[in-house]
Structure 1
Amino acid sequence: MPTATLRASDDALLAAGSQSSLSSSSLKPQRGVFPVFLCGMLAFLELYCTQPMLPMLAHVFHASEASVSGTISASTFGVAISAALLALFGERLDRKKTIVASMVALAICTLLTATATSLPVLALWRMLQGLITPGVFILTIAYVTEEWPPLEVPRVMSYYVGGTVFGGFLGRISAGILAERLGWRPIFLVLGILGLFGAALAQRVLPPARPKERRIKSASPFTPVLANLQNPRLLATFGIGFCMLYTLISIFSYITFYLAAAPFHLSTAELSWLFTVYLCGLAATLAAGTVLARVGLRHGMVTAIGFCLGGLMLTLVPSLPVIGLGLAMASSGVFISQTCANSFLRDAAPAGSRVSAAGMYICSYYIGGTVGGILPAAAWRMAGWPGCVSLTSTLLITAGLLAFFGWKKRTAAPDPIPL
């Protein structure tokens, strides 16, 4: 059966059954969003926790900025590899079982990271953390797009992204504060224990996915991947994802070196407090989730990118309050863009290939994050923080152009979510 026909049939089923499903399922808006928020939070507790510790790690291991930034790039590289595998095989996995099992494995790996005796070994453990993490958040993205009606997806996705923001904030700020007082190892013990507790809680509160009335089965796991690679709207989304995580990683990794030096001289603990700006991003993301279905995902994405670009420019002003405002704007823009992109996957990808599309998007997103931890090192050496800002601005402009020209409405069976 042609893809367009399958898609139209799938959308018709969703439209006809969305109200009854929402009322009869345990996934009602008030109760269903907490497990989604929890999954997002636990997936990102450990992923970026070394960011506020980068200047400290450079001193402890007598390493360069580029070398210690590898503790970030190693984890994002692991995510990219794992996401590519999930793009192939994720459609066949049980949503809840995979999410909870991945949480347990991630917590154990985080505990073992505290045993690292050198920077290469630390980077290896960080890569293993990255390999496990997509089992949590890629399946959660698919879970949201499959379990809620189309008009509810942006709002519920905003809670998931809000959870990732809060988890990233909690991991970074606790890492910076504990590292300055106790050294870098205890943070992995604390975050690992939190991860085990969170996995037990997720097992209890996360409802299993509802049985599907019909699944589209592919003869090969490569079939949905190849179809997605021929979809211009998805290709634009993958490109946007690359640019946006590049932006977040490059800004929040290299700003630590900038602010640790003259004239600011911030300590490791003080650098960790920079990530309180994530709470602004959390609030902005949750607020955006209530209006994206009305203003449109395309307009929301372009606005978020513009907001991020404006915030990045403010970080060039040599004033800590202004830099803080700029970081708040930039992070908010990235988080809102993530909500838009994750929600857009439901419209751009046909039923039966949405886990594959989410996996490919996350793969591209984290390849961007890996490059964002490495490439700005050259700009830093040549021109310092202004060089990093110039390079990152180029990627943001590229993302804006991809959203404006690449997110076109499909002609048949459009979803109720406006673009």
Structure 2
Amino acid sequence: MKTKELFIIIYNIVVVLSVMYATQPLQPLLAKEFEVSIVKSSQFTAVIMLFLAIAPIIYGYILERVNAKRVLLTASLILAVTNTFLSFSTSYEMFLTIRTIEAIVIPAILTASMSILANIDKVNVKLNMSIYVASTVFGGLVGRVFSGYIATYFSWQMVFLSLSFASLIGLFLITRLNYDAQAHLTKATIKDISQILKDKRFFVIYLLMFSIFFVFAGVLNILPFRLKELDPSTSESQIGLLYLGYGVGIVVSLFIHKIIKFFDKEMKTILFGIIIFLISTALYIVENPLIIFLNVFLFCLGMFTVHTVSTRMANSLKESQKSLTSGMYLSFYYIGGTVGSIIPPMFYQLYGWNNTIYLCMFLLCVIFIFVYTNRKIFKAYN
């Protein structure tokens, strides 16, 4: 394994995911700063998820081949510039426009990073992919926790200036990257997509992850507002600490083979994950901030168990077209996150916290029944 290359890619993935999720604990603060609603402030994260959903298809048509190192260099430079401009934003429109530019380059960085990880060490591809997942989770954790801390003790502007500095370090490291191969992007045709969806196993997994990430993104997007509702004195630093439970995803992604071995079958593991996710979603009804904090760990355990096992299954059900099936998986996943970043905040604003949780619980009950009734079409279960 090329340790130097691995470190450089991991560092840049962590920076990119930090950029993506840095706005989440700051949403109440940014909503107040720009005098906008909960729904509008949630769009700072939703816009990036939207582009992560559609990028695998769009980029495949624009570019069939692209130099992965050059993509990382260009995109990291753009991130450094955009985050600097974010810190000087004076309006909601300006902030959202700059976040949209970031949303365009972030999928390119992640696609190039995944391509490099898959090719720098052909022997340890599966291990490298597990490291990729763990890196994205760690980046989401770092972005949320440190943005809350920096905003509380310095300012929200310093959050984006520090991310700009981190991107510049990444830019320097990429110049030291010993890799010059090209990443091959997939062109998805309507015929290819419809053929994959005709396989009911893929349809079940894609719909499952749409629903799971809808609830996950929705709840975590409005949780900062809920904490402020319970205790208006809650600081951004305290909100950031709420996301420490996200670290459970790192453990799950690295030890998923042992979790599956414990349950014996993949589908049994997924059903267990949905139950844990449903129980933890119901626990958000409790009004104690400490219980809410602890519940995030359980919430993330359920979500990442389902996500990690589903990813493995989506990539192993079909020998051919692996890049397309995994790309479609990510598209459904992030479309769920995009819609989840918009609908639950709207519901919360109109009908309150408890009714929003009931909505999420209802969706999870429906998807559990759907997956359970279709469990036997998966060989991994039988």
Secondary structure of residue in 1 paired with 2:21: coil
Instruction: Name which of structure 1's ranges 400-409 and 56-65 shifts more when overlaid on structure 2.
Output: 400-409
- Taking structure 1 as reference, are residues 36 and 288 closer, same or farther at Cα in structure 2, changes over 3 Å only? farther
- Taking structure 1 as reference, are residues 217 and 255 closer, same or farther at Cα in structure 2, changes over 3 Å only? closer
Instruction: Name which of structure 1's ranges 365-374 and 84-93 shifts more when overlaid on structure 2.
Output: 84-93
2:358 pairs, out of 387, 390, 395, with 390
TM-score by length of 1: 0.77
Structure 1 residue 300, shift from structure 2 partner:
2.6
- Taking structure 1 as reference, are residues 202 and 112 closer, same or farther at Cα in structure 2, changes over 3 Å only? same
Give the residue type in structure 2 aligned to 1:367.
I
Q: How does 1:327-342 map to 2 (within 5 A)?
A: 327-342=296-311
Structure 1 residue 168, shift from structure 2 partner:
0.8
1:145/1:343 contact within 8 Å kept = no
Structure 1 residue 36, shift from structure 2 partner:
6.3
Structure 1 residue 396, shift from structure 2 partner:
2.7
CA distance in 1, matches of 2:153, 2:31: 17
1:180 pairs, out of 134, 138, 152, with 152
- Taking structure 1 as reference, are residues 230 and 116 closer, same or farther at Cα in structure 2, changes over 3 Å only? farther
Secondary structure of residue in 2 paired with 1:77: helix
- Taking structure 1 as reference, are residues 122 and 183 closer, same or farther at Cα in structure 2, changes over 3 Å only? same
CA distance in 2, matches of 1:181, 1:238: 41
- Taking structure 1 as reference, are residues 238 and 180 closer, same or farther at Cα in structure 2, changes over 3 Å only? same
CA distance in 2, matches of 1:206, 1:232: 42
Structure 1 residue 84 corresponds to structure 2 residue 57: yes
Deviation sequence 1:115-155 (CA, Å, 0-9, x none)? 322112211221222222222334555666788889973x5
Identify unmatched segments of 5+ residues in structure 2. Answer: none
CA distance in 2, matches of 1:286, 1:147: 20
Structure 1 residue 349, shift from structure 2 partner:
4.1
Structure 1 residue 360, shift from structure 2 partner:
2.3
Identify unmatched segments of 5+ residues in structure 1. Answer: 1-25, 412-416
Aligned twin of 1:117: 90
- Taking structure 1 as reference, are residues 217 and 114 closer, same or farther at Cα in structure 2, changes over 3 Å only? closer
- Residues paired across the two proteins, number: 381
- Taking structure 1 as reference, are residues 299 and 264 closer, same or farther at Cα in structure 2, changes over 3 Å only? farther
CA distance in 1, matches of 2:324, 2:38: 35
1:157/1:339 contact within 8 Å kept = no
1:196 pairs, out of 150, 158, 168, with 168
CA distance in 2, matches of 1:303, 1:37: 30
CA distance in 2, matches of 1:300, 1:358: 20
CA distance in 1, matches of 2:87, 2:370: 41
Secondary structure of residue in 2 paired with 1:51: coil
Deviation sequence 1:83-132 (CA, Å, 0-9, x none)? 33145567644556545654444344333333322112211221222222
Structure 1 residue 44, shift from structure 2 partner:
0.9
- Taking structure 1 as reference, are residues 222 and 92 closer, same or farther at Cα in structure 2, changes over 3 Å only? farther
CA distance in 1, matches of 2:180, 2:376: 34
CA distance in 2, matches of 1:194, 1:349: 39
Give the residue type in structure 2 aligned to 1:176.
G
- Taking structure 1 as reference, are residues 293 and 349 closer, same or farther at Cα in structure 2, changes over 3 Å only? farther
Structure 1 residue 343, shift from structure 2 partner:
1.9
Structure 1 residue 319 corresponds to structure 2 residue 288: yes
Kindly, what percent of the aligned residue pairs are identical?
A: 22
Aligned twin of 2:138: 166
2:277 pairs, out of 295, 308, 313, with 308
For the aligned residue pairs, the C-alpha RMSD in angstroms reads: 3.6
Instruction: Name which of structure 1's ranges 377-386 and 400-409 shifts more when overlaid on structure 2.
Output: 400-409
Deviation sequence 1:328-387 (CA, Å, 0-9, x none)? 111222223222232223213443x33333332222222211211211133313442212
Q: How does 1:218-367 map to 2 (within 5 A)?
A: 224-263=192-231, 265-292=233-260, 295-351=264-320, 353-367=321-335
Secondary structure of residue in 2 paired with 1:247: helix
2:68/2:116 contact within 8 Å kept = yes
Secondary structure of residue in 2 paired with 1:248: helix
TM-score by length of 2: 0.84
- Taking structure 1 as reference, are residues 382 and 118 closer, same or farther at Cα in structure 2, changes over 3 Å only? closer
Structure 1 residue 274, shift from structure 2 partner:
0.7
Give the residue type in structure 2 aligned to 1:62.
E
Deviation sequence 1:302-337 (CA, Å, 0-9, x none)? 222222222222222222222122111112222232
CA distance in 2, matches of 1:386, 1:206: 52
1:79/1:130 contact within 8 Å kept = yes
Give the residue type in structure 1 aligned to 2:252.
A
CA distance in 2, matches of 1:269, 1:381: 24
Structure 1 residue 391, shift from structure 2 partner:
1.6
Deviation sequence 1:203-258 (CA, Å, 0-9, x none)? 646867799xxx9998x855644443433322323222222221222111111111
- Taking structure 1 as reference, are residues 363 and 32 closer, same or farther at Cα in structure 2, changes over 3 Å only? same
2:56/2:186 contact within 8 Å kept = no
- Taking structure 1 as reference, are residues 62 and 210 closer, same or farther at Cα in structure 2, changes over 3 Å only? closer
CA distance in 2, matches of 1:369, 1:229: 20
CA distance in 2, matches of 1:407, 1:143: 35
CA distance in 2, matches of 1:297, 1:86: 32
CA distance in 1, matches of 2:215, 2:178: 32
CA distance in 1, matches of 2:274, 2:128: 21
CA distance in 2, matches of 1:248, 1:405: 23
- Taking structure 1 as reference, are residues 73 and 217 closer, same or farther at Cα in structure 2, changes over 3 Å only? closer
